[in-house]
């Protein structure tokens, strides 16, 4: 982990606290996904394929984690505990996962951060609205959320979120531009 190509982080919410190890070197991730043991012939054969979108989604999550100080600054969070991935269950016992949960102590708030890759503004679908509602419900009913704290939903996307009937489900939007200032 001292090499900077692997990170460890805590995942809470399951039957026990888990430590997850993640490869963080962007070139190696690309190489393993598209070059080694594949028929990679050109970028054109990869772009806009299902493996590309999976890789792009994982990459934006990693980019956000690598730019945590910029994310916290964009959200105007003054003081926070260690952010982590969280898994919980809704009152109906359905499992939900939060890409990144930031407990903001000074703001008395928990920030549910969802990272989404898109080639333009992200369009919130009906399923996104249901997922948001489930995540809020699961967090609100968990042991880690303090009843005196607010819950904010943040979408971190490549180009923002388009106006749609579900836009009101999220509290804040951070774009990649804001992470690279």
Structure tokens at 163: 């106006």
- Rounded Cα–Cα distance for residues 9 and 55 (Å): 20
Q: Is the pTM of this model over 0.75?
A: yes
Q: What does the pLDDT look like over 56-78, one tens digit per residue?
A: 888 898 899 889 999 999 999 99
Contacts (Cβ under 8 Å, ≥6 apart) of 76? none
Condensed to tens digits (0 to 9), the pLDDT of residues 34-64 reads 777 677 777 777 787 888 888 888 889 889 9
- Please list the alpha-helical segments (H only) found in the chain: 26-30, 43-46, 50-66, 68-74, 126-140, 176-179
Query: The tokens of 143 are what?
Result: 């042991």
């Amino acid at each position: 982990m001292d090499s900077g190509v692997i990170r460890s982080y805590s995942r809470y919410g399951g039957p026990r606290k888990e430590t997850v190890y993640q490869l963080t070197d962007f070139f190696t991730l690309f190489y393993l996904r598209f070059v080694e043991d594949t028929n990679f012939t050109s970028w054109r054969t990869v772009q806009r394929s299902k493996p590309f979108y999976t890789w792009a989604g994982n990459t934006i999550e990693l980019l956000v984690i690598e730019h945590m100080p910029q994310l916290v600054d964009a959200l105007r969070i003054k003081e926070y505990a260690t952010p982590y991935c969280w898994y919980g269950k809704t009152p109906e016992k359905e499992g939900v996962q939060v890409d990144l949960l930031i407990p903001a102590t000074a703001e008395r708030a928990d920030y549910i951060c969802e990272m989404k890759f898109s080639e333009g503004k992200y369009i919130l679908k009906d399923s996104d609205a249901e997922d948001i509602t489930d995540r809020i419900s699961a967090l609100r009913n968990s042991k880690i959320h303090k009843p005196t704290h607010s819950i904010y939903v943040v979408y971190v996307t490549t180009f923002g979120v388009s106006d749609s009937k579900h836009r009101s489900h999220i509290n804040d939007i951070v774009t990649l531009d804001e992470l690279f200032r």
